[in-house]
Amino acid sequence: MPPLEHLHMKNVLQTVGVLEAVILRSFGPEGGQVLFTRDTGQAMLSRSGTRILTALQLEHPLARLCVWKHSTATGDGSKTFILLLASLLRLIHAAASKEPNVSHSYNSTKAAEAATARHLADKLLAFALKELDELIATGVVPYGGRISWEDFTATAQSPSLANNLCVQKLLRSFFHTRFGYTHCDFISHLACELLSYWKFKNELPSFSLQFVSDNFPALHTPVSGFPVCASRLIDGQVIHRDFATPPLKTDHQPVKAVVLTRSLQPTLLNTGDVLEVGCGGRMMEERSIVHFSAWMERSLQGIIANLQTLGVCVLLSAVKQSAAVLALATQAEMCVVECVSEDELSLFVRLSGTIPIWDCSMIEPEHVVTLTFCRPIQLGGHRYVHVAFQDSEERITVKPCSLVICAPGEGQTEQYACALQDAVRMLLRTWEPMHAAVTTTSKRTLQSHKSSSLHTDNLTDRTTYRSSAIQPIHKCVLEPGCVISAGGSFELLLHYALLQHGHSCSVSHDLNIDTSVSQLLANALLSVPQKIYAHSPRHFLETQSKVINSELDLGLESVSCKYQLLLAVLQCVRSLLKVDTVLPTHIALHTQSSRPASTSWEDTEDELLSGYIHLHTHTHTHIVYHAIYKEE
């Protein structure tokens, strides 16, 4: 049996340091792109932190634990996550090493340092959960602003309006972290236009954003072999299947459609059932089979006749229909679309207001929906089904549309699609209100903070996000839409707020607050802007002055996403430091698999993330690592 691996702080620092070195190559405005190569020779460039980290073949459990899935909620921040994680661990290690009083209950200095580090991690997380929201509300938000949801509606009508630039600036800053400066303006404008179409009447912004996020796989179509600027919006819905029967000739006229959840051909038997026919001789058995087949045919003809009576000429099916169904549908001049995905059918049902058919013998008028048209559409090398919905009172402010994402290569289209979906998640988090405690704010007014009115008066012409969409925040509440200048502004402002907080607590002799915790967190936050401006220390000093005077013009960032990212870092630190021992075990993997040829990068990354799963046609013996957590 392989020996146990006892972990120490140095092991954790070494593991995180390796990830930090990889991330630093693509971090900041001067960061480059990372080249990925696969065994097949396929290459891809990316600046996405999540993609870079998950593409690494991580075998050690600590490394896999560091690749936090927080980007699923916030949509971004993987690179900053690793940098803050590494900085915090170094500072905690330095503080634990300098602890003067080592408890005699520990049999070694390393054990005492590990216990001190775990204690500091617990205190950091507890401090953040209790105080961080208030510090952000009073020390960060007044230097930023708030963007309005109405910006998206105006974008589609007048892209030149000043307030629209604020939303596009937030998105442009987001896309710059993924692609650099290439196509950022175009993609941000396309995202604004998409969201303006999907604005639901009398609903909160979070509802519309959640709808787009949940239905994004059905709302977009990747097309390879075209430039990115060919990406566009198409009215209606694109169903990613082709017609199983000849399409309608009248493709510009209203048509009636139904949604089928099962085969139209009646079935009396389920899987595993046995049908006994005949009662004696062979001739009787043959006659019974003939009668049964004739009954099946008559039933199917009756269903098709009923659909004709209702005027139905489009059948959208979740399953594959039989050859008899396709033949009768063709004779009745009906077009059939088979094997439509569950996501696309759910979206179609939601947009059309129809009711799916569960019992083919009971098809009623409420199952029928009228479409503006149903016709084939050629996108790249594939032909799909394009449908459009008739206007109704429920869709006065909703214009159903599909997003066509174009790029020269398959991997690039996937990158742009993932970035757009992550941008929607980021906006969803931005518009979720987070309330901060205001009971003790007046007792600890930070001297470095400016009032909202003073901030508004001092906004200069160089502050490009000054507009009617940005409103000064007057309450200690993280309201929906709070943004701050990008380029390390959040970390710098929170750094100063934490230092002032520790100073005010030490002056007031508040014994319930450990000022060393706020000092440690403040120093860790400072590492982010230091890394951003590592190429120019003088520029770093100038940036600090510009942040205080609200003169920094490097885009916008979401305050809520930054807050969630910082909490995720502290939770990860706590989890890492609780790992005490790694237990390697040998297992035999029988990994013979019939993997489909069309494998996405995400599928490959999920396998690599597991750290020990490799697909081969023979058996391998691998080492699987299990982390054992230390209980205090």
For 171-183, the pLDDT digits (tens) are 988 888 888 778 8
Q: How far is CA 141 from CA 95, 138, 408, in A?
A: 31, 6, 41
pLDDT at site 234: 95
Instruction: For residue 287, give both structure tokens.
Output: 């006659």
pLDDT at site 332: 92
The answer, yes or no, to whether residue 238 has pLDDT greater than 90, is: yes
Domain that residue 490 falls in: 5-146+481-582
The answer, yes or no, to whether residue 48 has pLDDT greater than 60, is: yes
Q: What angle do CA 148, 150, 152 make, to 5 degrees?
A: 100
**56 in a structural domain:** yes
Of 374, 399, 424, the one marking the end of a domain is 399
Instruction: For residue 7, give both structure tokens.
Output: 């972990």
Q: Are residues 389 and 495 in the same domain?
A: no
What are the tens digits of pLDDT across the range 582-629?
A: 776 655 444 444 444 444 434 443 433 333 322 222 333 334 444 454
Number of compact structural domains in the chain: 2
The most confident of 14-18, 221-225, 300-304, 581-585, by mean pLDDT: 221-225
Nearest to residue 404, comparing CAs of 384, 426, 425?
384
Q: What percentage of the chain's residues is helix, strand, coil (to nearest 5)?
A: 50, 15, 35
Neighbours of 473 (CB within 10 A): 23
**534 in a structural domain:** yes
- Percent of the chain beyond pLDDT 70? 67
pLDDT at site 555: 80
State which H helix or E strand residue 282 sits in: helix 282-309
- Residue 242 sits in a domain whose CATH number is 3.50.7.10
pLDDT at site 618: 31
Assign 399 a pLDDT band (cuts: 50, 70, 90): confident
Q: Are residues 131 and 27 in the same domain?
A: yes
Q: Are residues 248 and 107 in the same domain?
A: no
Neighbours of 165 (CB within 10 A): 19
**420 in a structural domain:** no
Mean pLDDT of the chain: 75
**221 in a structural domain:** no
Q: Are residues 367 and 248 in the same domain?
A: yes
Residue 374 vs residue 177, higher pLDDT: 374
**321 in a structural domain:** yes
- Residue 540 sits in a domain whose CATH number is 1.10.560.10
Assign 305 a pLDDT band (cuts: 50, 70, 90): very high
Residue 214's contacts (CB-CB under 8 Å, 6 or more residues apart) are none
Neighbours of 352 (CB within 10 A): 21
Nearest to residue 462, comparing CAs of 400, 352, 549, 557?
549
Q: Is 319 helix (H, G, I), strand (E, B) or coil?
A: coil
Neighbours of 440 (CB within 10 A): 10
Q: Are residues 247 and 379 in the same domain?
A: yes
The answer, yes or no, to whether residue 74 has pLDDT greater than 70, is: no
Assign 114 a pLDDT band (cuts: 50, 70, 90): confident
Residue 49 vs residue 570, higher pLDDT: 570
Residue 336's contacts (CB-CB under 8 Å, 6 or more residues apart) are 243, 244, 245, 315, 317, 321, 325, 326, 329
**176 in a structural domain:** no
Average pLDDT over residues 89-116: 75
pLDDT at site 13: 85
Q: Are residues 390 and 530 in the same domain?
A: no
Q: Are residues 518 and 381 in the same domain?
A: no
What are the tens digits of pLDDT across the range 575-585?
A: 888 877 777 66
Of 346, 378, 399, the one marking the end of a domain is 399
Residue 229 vs residue 17, higher pLDDT: 229
The answer, yes or no, to whether residue 501 has pLDDT greater than 70, is: yes
The answer, yes or no, to whether residue 115 has pLDDT greater than 50, is: yes
pLDDT at site 619: 32
Q: Are residues 13 and 113 in the same domain?
A: yes
What are the tens digits of pLDDT across the range 150-162?
A: 655 444 344 434 4
Residue 72 vs residue 466, higher pLDDT: 72
Residue 7's contacts (CB-CB under 8 Å, 6 or more residues apart) are 62, 579, 580, 581, 582
Q: Are residues 242 and 359 in the same domain?
A: yes
The most confident of 80-84, 380-384, 458-462, 466-470, by mean pLDDT: 380-384
Q: pTM to 2 decimals?
A: 0.78
Assign 530 a pLDDT band (cuts: 50, 70, 90): confident
**323 in a structural domain:** yes
Torsion 96-102-103-104 (CA) sign: positive
Of 360, 382, 399, the one marking the end of a domain is 399
Assign 68 a pLDDT band (cuts: 50, 70, 90): low
CB of 524 within 8 A of CB of 91? yes
Q: Are residues 132 and 25 in the same domain?
A: yes
Helix axis angle, 489-508 relative to 537-548, nearest 10°? 70
Q: Are residues 254 and 107 in the same domain?
A: no
Q: Is 36 helix (H, G, I), strand (E, B) or coil?
A: strand
pLDDT at site 465: 37
Nearest to residue 575, comparing CAs of 7, 83, 5, 4?
7
What are the tens digits of pLDDT across the range 247-289?
A: 988 766 889 999 999 988 866 555 665 666 555 555 444 556 6
Alpha-carbon distance of 254 to 245, in angstroms, equals: 19
**561 in a structural domain:** yes
Q: Are residues 261 and 392 in the same domain?
A: yes
Phi-psi region of 447 (alpha: psi -120 to 50; beta: other; left: phi over 0): alpha
Residue 601's contacts (CB-CB under 8 Å, 6 or more residues apart) are 36, 44, 51, 55, 411, 414
